[in-house]
Amino acid sequence: MTLLTPLPQFESEAQSIHRVPVAVAMGDGIGPEIMRASLSVLQAAGAALEIREIALGEAVYKSGHSSGIAPETWDVLRATKLLYKAPITTPQGGGYKSLNVTLRKSLGLFANVRPNGAYAPFVATKHPGMDVVIVRENEEDLYAGIEHRQTDEVYQCLKLVSRPGTEKIIRFAFEHARRNGRRKVSCFSKDNIMKLTDGLFHKTFDTIAKEYPEIETDHWIIDIGAARLASNPKQFDVIVTGNLYGDIISDIAAEIAGSVGLAPSANIGAHGAMFEAIHGSAPPLAGKDVANPSGLLLAGVMMLVHAGQPRVAERVHNAWLRTIEDGVHTADMPQEAPGAQRVGTRAFAQAVIARLGLEPRHLAPVRYGEATPASAVPQAAPTVPATKQTVGIDVFVHWSGGTPDDLAALLRPAAGTGLELSMITNRGVKVWPQGLAETFCTDHWRCRFLAPGGAALTHAAIAALLLRLAEAGVDFIKTEHLCTFDGVAGYSLGQGQ
């Protein structure tokens, strides 16, 4: 389906370009209004798009698809490889997985690119001149969504970080910086605490940075990095970070730049791409013609660049900048210049359409280069398997029968001859041997058994240990093997060990 006929002045260009098939999801809440507004601008600008509307979100969830997407919709997405998506509402309550996360992960859209620019003096901000691109890892980290309740008291969420996933996103950030003439890439992590997972992210960043000597680099622990981003964003250019950190800091960056309603995002992978605003479906604003369509419209601009229509993208972006300069604003944008007028969603889109072909007079006009072909999306190097040796096992136990010494007394006889109990921790802190009486303990214990002298441990020996523990009445709820990789320990010490 083609939604609108291009306006006459841009018709000839639109006809000369191959129409790019794109799946369009109208979304929930304010989604349909801002999508209609955005499409009206893109098509008036001459975007050559063949639109295939798909259903995603609340209605699909409520029709019995707990994922928010019907099985046949995947076929449309796999055919178009391009999705333009308005925000959707994830119904409250258990049993519904976030469709956004499912789409990003199922389609392999590993890179989430979120530009945040200030438009001072036309949109009030404490940070005129701010221009930061956040490149957020999209597939891993705590967003693996693997959670378990393990005991009466303790719940767990797994943080998974892979070497290929980390390598791809960091390389993507450097390539993005190089292609877009950006001077610096900053890495945000928390590797002072998470030495293996975030440590991998930081180390990979340092290694890949050497391949881009012309680009300045630095690393920030996420807490102080986020604080500096909020207080002095101009010291950052491109930031690459993990999934959860990126989610949080990109909302902060959008808000301090002006409004979350202004920020677009691109989700890029080797097999497709999805473009959306960073904000949600804002249910209280739905149907009132007050929502700002700018985030979604600018995501459409990113989509046009990706789809090989950079001139149309420029036309839309420059008309949008001129609209902002002319003081035509939606209600969410912080107020500023005298004479600015507040308009609704539809009138804002009409104001942008009326300025197609014009350029901003004060803000820098936008110029786009050609799109990056899918083949240029970075791949990770193949994995070279390490020499792995299992040297012990952490057995997690649900127990509330007394003190850590009591638990050790229960476990030690079950260790047998080929293993010894070396440590017990509670929520990560060592409580045996020689724990502190002040340490608060839950009913969730990690009990570390090691093979004496670093000897190799077989799966059969581990199974035999678990059998002895079961016979002793120990309620083990999970195990983690302790392995070395090329002689390097692949597990953390206990806190206080």
Choice between 141 and 332, CB closer to ligand NAD: 332
Least separation in angstroms between residue 359's CB and ligand NAD is 25
Cβ closest to ligand NAD, residue 233 vs residue 264: 264
- Closest contact distance (angstroms) between CB of 126 and ligand NAD is 19
CB of 302 to ligand NAD, least distance (A): 15
Which residue, 81, 132, 113, 105, is CA-closest to 301? 113
- Residue with smallest beta-carbon separation from ligand NAD: 280
Contact 246, 136 (CB under 8 A): yes
Complex with ligand NAD: residue 256 or 419, whichever CB lies closer = 256
Please report, for residues 117, 450, 466, the alpha-carbon distance to residue 472 in angstroms, rounded to integers and kept in the order given: 62, 19, 10
- How far, CA to CA in Å, does 435 sit from each of 410, 423, 441? 17, 10, 11
Is residue 267 within a helix (H) or strand (E), and if so which, with residue range?
Answer: strand 264-269
Contact indicator for 312, 45 with CB cutoff of 8 Å: yes
Residue position matching structure tokens 């994830």: 90
Q: C-alpha angle with apex 160: 158 to 163, nearest 5 degrees?
A: 170
Measured CA to CA, the distance from residue 224 to residue 264 in angstroms comes to 25
Nearest approach, Cβ of 251 to ligand NAD (angstroms)? 8
We find the least distance from the C-beta atom of residue 101 to ligand NAD, in angstroms, to be: 10
Q: Are 332 and 259 in contact, with CB atoms under 8 Å apart?
A: yes
Instruction: Give Rg (Cα) of the chain.
Output: 27
* Distance of closest approach, residue 291 Cβ to ligand NAD, in angstroms: 4
Distance from C-alpha of 379 to C-alpha of 125, rounded to nearest angstrom: 38
User: Of 34 and 208, which CB lies nearer to ligand NAD in the complex structure?
Assistant: 34
Nearer to ligand NAD, 22 or 451 (CB): 22
Q: Give the tokens for residue 256.
A: 């301090």
Q: Which residues bind ligand NAD (CB under 6 A)?
A: 30, 34, 87-90, 100, 260-261, 276, 279-282, 285, 291-292, 295, 332
Min dist. Cβ of residue 486 to ligand NAD (A): 41
Q: Which is nearer to ligand NAD, 114 or 279 (CB)?
A: 279
Burial class (CB in 10 A: 0-12, 13-18, 19+), 203: middle
- How far separated are the first and last CA of the chain, in Å rounded? 64
The Cα–Cα gap between 180 and 330 comes to 30
Q: In the complex, what is the shortest distance from the CB of residue 228 to ligand NAD, in angstroms, rounded to a whole number?
A: 24
Q: Measure Cα distances from 214 to 108, 169, 170, 177 in Å.
A: 30, 19, 16, 10
SS3 25: strand
Nearer to ligand NAD, 99 or 424 (CB): 99
Nearer to ligand NAD, 290 or 474 (CB): 290
Q: What is the DSSP letter of 191?
A: T
What number of CA atoms fall less than 13 Å from residue 39's CA on the CB side?
A: 24
- Helix, strand, coil percentages (3-state) for the chain, rounded to 5, are 35, 25, 40
Closest distance between ligand NAD and the C-beta of residue 56, in Å?
9
Choose between 201 and 348: whose C-beta lies nearer to ligand NAD: 348
- Give whichever of 237 and 276 is closer to ligand NAD, judged by the CB atom: 276
Minimum gap (Å) between residue 290 Cβ and ligand NAD: 7
C-alpha to C-alpha distance for 421 and 451, rounded to whole angstroms: 9
